[in-house]
Amino acid sequence: MPPKTFLGEFEQMVLLAILQRGDRANALEINRELEASAGRSVSKGAFYTTLDRLERKGYLTWEARPAEDGRSGLPQRHFRVTPEGIAELRKAREALTRLWRGLDGVLERP
Partner DNA sequence: CACTTCCGGTCTACAATGTATACCATACAT
Partner DNA sequence: ATGTATGGTATACATTGTAGACCGGAAGTG
Q: Give min distance, CB of 92 to its own copies, in A.
A: 8
Told to check if 90 binds DNA by CB under 7 A, we report no
Helix axes of 9-21 and 83-100: crossing angle, nearest 10 degrees: 120
Q: Tell me the chain's radius of gyration from C-alpha atoms.
A: 16
Among its own copies, DNA, none, what does residue 32 contact (CB within 5–8 Å per kind)?
Answer: none
> Around Cβ 7, how many Cβ atoms within 10 Å?
17
Q: Which helix H or strand E contains 76, and what residues bound it? A: strand 76-81
- From residue 54, give the alpha-carbon distance in Å to each of 33, 77, 88: 18, 14, 11
Among its own copies, DNA, none, what does residue 82 contact (CB within 5–8 Å per kind)?
Answer: none
Residues lying near DNA in the complex (CB under 7 A) are found at 2, 5-11, 26-28, 40, 42-46, 48-50, 52-53, 57, 64, 67, 71-77
Binding residues (CB under 8 A) for its own copies: these are 6-9, 12-13, 16-17, 19-20, 33, 37-40, 86, 89-90, 92-93, 95-96, 98-103, 106-109
